Each structure stands twice: as C-alpha cells, then as structure tokens.
Chain A
Amino acid sequence: METVRLIAGIPVLLLALGIVPVLTGAAFSFKLKTEYRKGLTFNYTVGILVMLAVMQLYSVPFTLLQCSFTSLVILYSGTLALFCVFSLLRRRRYLAKLFQNAGSLIKRADKKWFLLVALIYLPVIALSFFTPYIYGDDKTYLTMVNDIAASDTLYMIDTATGEPITWVSAKYALSSYWTFLAWLVKITGIHTLILCKTILAFFIAPISYAVQGLLFSFLFRSNERKMLAAMFFLNLLQLFGCFSIYSVSYRLYTWIWQSKAFLAIIVIPFLFYYCNLIFEKKCAPREYLCLSVFITAACSTTLTGAGLAVLMVMLLSVIYAFLCKRPLIVIGAGLAGIPAAVYMLLYLRYDMFVSWLRVQGVFRGIS
C-alpha cells in the first residue's frame, strides 16, 4: 500500500516541486529586468521562494485564527493554480524560450558539467540508505507535519504525546515551513518520513547547488571555465565541511529537510545573489518588491531567518550605497524588510497579541 502511494505520489511531487515553481517564477518575475530573468534556474528559484512566501502569508493568520488545515490547502493550492494558469496564458512564449534555452545549454554543455551533476547526486543517493544518528528534532518537526496533515489543525497537537493543545508556540505559529511540508504530504499522499528523510534531498540538494551556480555565474560573468572550477571546488569543500554542526554543508548532508537547512543552503544564498544582482544597477521599485517577497520566504523557514535576511540585506545595501554612491539603496532595502520587522514584532509581543485575539473571540475555526 505504501509502495502504491509512493509511486502515485511521485508525479504529483514532480509537478509541485518541478513544474509549479517554474510557472510561478515566470508569472512573478516578468516585471524584473530581462537580463536578470533569462534562465530557467532563476525562474525556478524565484518560484520556490514565492511559494514559500505565499504559504507564510496564509499560514500565519490561519494558525493564529485556528482555522483548519484543509481550508489552507484549498486556498494555497488555488493561489498556485492561478499563478500557473496566468503563466500558461500570458507567458507562453517566454516559457517556451526558457525551456528552449535550457535545452540548447544542455546540448552544448561540456561533459564535465554532467560529471558535476553526478558528484552532486552521489552523496544524496548514498545517504538514502542512511540516517543521521537519532535526533530529537526529527521527533518534533516530522511529528508536527504528520499531525497537521492528520488532525486537520495547525500546530494544535502536542508533538510529545499526540494530545490536543490550545496554545501554539510563537516559534511555530509565525513560520510556515512545516505547513508547507504538510501541504506536500497532503497533495502527494507520500508518507511524511519517506518524503522528508529520503525524497526531498533529491530536490533540495540540486536546488542548493543551482543557487550557487547562479551566484558564480554572476561573480564570473558567465565564464564557464571558472564557473566549472568553482562548482567542483565547492562540491569538495561541502564534502569536507563537517567541521561544525552549524556549517552550511552540515545542513546539506544531514537533516536537509529541516527549515534551517532550507534557509542556510537555498534562501540566504539566493538572497545574497539577488541583492548583489539588483544593487549593482539602479533598482526599480518592483525589484525591491521582489526582495520583500524573498525576505518573507526567509521568514517562513524560521524566525531566525527573518533576522538573518534583514541583516544580510542591510549590510549589502550599505556596502553598495557607499561604493556606488547611491544612498537610496539603504532606504529601499529597509522598506523591503518590513515583513521581517512585522514578524519579529509579533514574536516579541506574541503572548499579548494572542491573548487579545482570544478576548476578541476571533477564533472562528473556518472549516
């Protein structure tokens, strides 16, 4: 039965984490400068971050108002469907060009790129048969995902016992990565443990390297020889990067399904790349708007993500403002960080805010 669910769920997962991000990214990125959004990788990563940001925008109020998980799934899936339909109707030619360009890049690619892809996937395949030593976080987070999907509530089950609870910790209420995983479990039907501990690595690891590829493409101005060398060295550095349980590579090769891992290996590096990309030239307001969406995606992983994203963006904006003599970059970056400021303020005043919601009788429990 589990095998049947797994086989049936894989095509849905490929759709959810393969096609939908490209369509969503294409729908969203069309207002950015053409030179930024030429590649499939860029659009795909933008799409994934938009998906996380939308989940954050829906999940936090739904959690605070104690709405049902099913209502969230319907609203979220519907929103993504709208992005996809818009993309297919209005961005058809752009999408065709994206896939055409990707196809011709693959056709003329040096064989060493294929070796690199194999090197990226080899550890992932090997680690499919292993698990990091049993760790408490598995019990908390994966149990949480299971409970959300099964109980149709949002974080209202005690992960230690399985009993219902009435108070959700700020840490879980104000981020939404686990709701995102529960959505994936719900739509694919794949068991949480199989999805998170084995299958997701096959998506997350290459996305992480793809983001690094974007960054190297920017740094080396698409010099293929340098990019290839950098990616090989990066691969080696990651394999030998077990000097700390808080190194980025540690997240890549252990609990890759965790929100901290997604933040460290995908969201933060992409934010770094995007800020360098847009701050180098005169930024349009829509580019700051995109930045704001990506910062919201960082908030969805953990609340730490909110703080880290803002710190990185502000420091980069100050550097570029000074070097390029454009002080307005700092103001734009500050405004883009408003979502993070809102979530951090909610975190600081969480108890007060939730108590106020209860007094107002706002918990309607939409089902």
Chain B
Amino acid sequence: MELVKFLNETFWGDGGYLLLFAVSILITLFREDIEMRGKRMALYSALCFVLVVYNPILGKLAVEHFMEDQWAYLRIFYLLPIMTVIAYAMSEFYVKTAKKTDPRKRKLLIAGILSILVVLSGHFYGKNMYLKAENIYKIDSEALEVIRVIEEDKEEGRTRILLPEGEENLIFGLRQYTPDLVIAGYSDKLDEEGGLMEAENNLDYTYVIIGKERTLVDCMEQAGYTYLVSTESHFIYKKG
C-alpha cells in the first residue's frame, strides 16, 4: 500500500490529469454513441490502472527483482495511454457537440473551453525547466574550453588528466564530449602536504586542471609543471 501511495503522490502530483483521465474513461465506457474500439481502449486503461499499475503485489515483485528502486517502477505508467484516452474523449465530445454546420464561433468556443480545461489541469513546460544552451554540444562552456585547450596541446590518442572532483559540470561535460580524455584521478588533494608527490607516484596523468582559488597554483611550476592556459575558472598545467 505504501507503493500505491508513493505512485499516486509522485506521478499525478497536484495536477488535474488524473481527474481528466478518469472522466474520459467513464465517458468513453458508458456513452452509447461511442465506438466499440474506443470502449475497448477505455476498458484496457481501467483494467491496467487497477490490476497492473496499482497492483501492490506486482509492484513489490517488480521492485524486488527487476527494478533498481521504486522510482524506476514509475515507468509502469507508460502502459497507460493517458493522453490518448483524454484526447479521444475530448475529440468525441467536440465533434458531437460542435456539428460541421454550426457557426465557426460556436466551434471555436467549444474547442476553447476544452483547451482551457487542459491548461488549468496541467503544468506547462516552462522556462524554469531548461537552461539556455551555451554551445552546440549543450555542455558547460567552461568544460568545452578546457577540452579545446588540452586537445590542441596533446598528442593523438587518449590522454589522462586530473581534475577537481566536485565540479560535476566539468566532469560531465568532458566525459560526454570526448572519449579521449581519461580521468586518472582528482586534483583536490594535491595541495595537501605530500599530495602532489603522492599523485605523481601513484597516478599516471599528463594534465592537471585546478580551480583558480586553490593554493596549489603557486607551487605547480616549481614542481616542474608547465603552465598552459587559464580559462574562466581553472588553470591547466601539463606535467613535465
């Protein structure tokens, strides 16, 4: 039952699509003037909803043996043709209510009412969902700059690098963009006492990327690293 509660709260949220879906199923099933094919779709949706999606036994089995967690189990909702059923019921209602011979105003009014119903029941894909892409690859522009600097300098083939561990945008961007940069380790501990020596002894790498705020910057060149370039937030050094 906990799984059922989780599905309800996580999937449907506070929108009105559940109500739209339920009403659409009822209208399609019980109106006599609706085609048998539509009724079968509505019947499938109702049975799937009750016997499959909200079945606690099936849910428990699936989560224990096949899914990573109950979040992955939310994919069970793909079985429900939610949008199709609602669109079907709406269009049946629209076509039966706004006849072909009716004036254009009346047809637009009915379509408008149904559309407003959808808008009020749902959530729009607004700007807060997205970031403006900084480049054609849609990765962090800092990551792209770091990659370009290293690619211009390095030899052909794979190159191993150290970079700051906590900077997900940099790591994600690098690994997505090119398979030629291997993350040999992280540069966060290099400015601890003996950190640089430990890295040199235990890790195989050619480039080091460090944040501009690090204290390590002062001793990199003393340790024999070649300063390559400074990007907006990082320094890039080459070993040797």
Contact = CB atoms under 8 A, between A and B. Distances in A.
Interface of A: 2, 123, 127, 129-134, 136, 138-139, 142-143, 146-147, 149-151, 157, 159-163, 191-194, 197-198, 212, 215-216, 218-221, 223, 225-227, 229-234, 236-244, 246-249, 253-254, 260, 263-264, 268-269, 272, 276, 280, 303-304, 307-308, 311-312, 315-316, 319-320, 323, 344, 347-348
Contacts of B111: 229, 232
Interface in B168-186: 168-169, 171-172, 175-184
B172 A160 contact: no
B137 A197 contact: yes
A191 B124 contact: no
Given A303-B66, A311-B52, A193 B176 contact: yes
B131 A130 contact: yes
Nearest to A133: B131
Interface size class of chain B, counting residues whose CB lies under 8 Å from the partner chain = 35 or more
B123 A194 contact: no
B13 A243 contact: yes
A127 B79 contact: no
A218 B40 CA distance: 12
Nearest to B47: A315
Contact of B35 (A129, A192, A219): A219
Contacts of A216: 84, 87-88, 91
A234 B81 CA distance: 11
B121 A240 contact: yes
Nearest to B176: A142
Given A191-B137, A234-B87, A319-B43, 18 more contacts: A127-B130, A133-B129, A136-B172, A139-B175, A159-B175, A229-B94, A237-B87, A239-B125, A241-B123, A242-B124, A243-B12, A247-B11, A272-B81, A276-B41, A308-B79, A312-B79, A319-B40, A348-B65
A229 B88 CA distance: 9
A260 B94 CA distance: 33
18 contacts: A123-B125, A139-B175, A143-B176, A159-B175, A161-B184, A216-B84, A227-B91, A233-B90, A236-B118, A237-B83, A240-B122, A243-B13, A243-B122, A248-B78, A269-B81, A312-B48, A312-B79, A319-B47
A230 B88 contact: yes
B172 A242 contact: no
Contact of B77 (A130, A215, A247, A320): A247
B40 A276 contact: yes
Interface in B27-68: 35, 37-38, 40-41, 43-44, 47-48, 51-52, 62, 65-67
- Of all A-B residue pairs in the complex, the 3 with the closest CB atoms, nearest first, are A240-B122, A243-B15, A229-B91
B133 A240 contact: no
A242 B125 contact: yes
Interface in B140-175: 140, 158, 168-169, 171-172, 175
A131 B130 contact: yes
Contact of B86 (A150, A157, A237): A237
A139 B171 contact: yes
A250 to B, nearest CB: 8
Nearest to B83: A237
Given A230-B87, A308-B79, A242 B136 contact: no
Given A138-B176, A263-B78, A348-B65, A194 B136 contact: yes
B75 A246 contact: yes
Contact of A242 (B10, B62, B83, B129): B129
A133 B138 CA distance: 10
Contacts of B179: 143, 146-147, 149-151, 157, 162
A142 to B, nearest CB: 5
A160 B179 CA distance: 11
Nearest to B93: A229
B3 interface: no
B83 A344 contact: no
Contacts of A248: 77-78, 82-83
B130 to A, nearest CB: 4
B235 to A, nearest CB: 22
B117 to A, nearest CB: 10
B158 to A, nearest CB: 7
B136 A264 contact: no
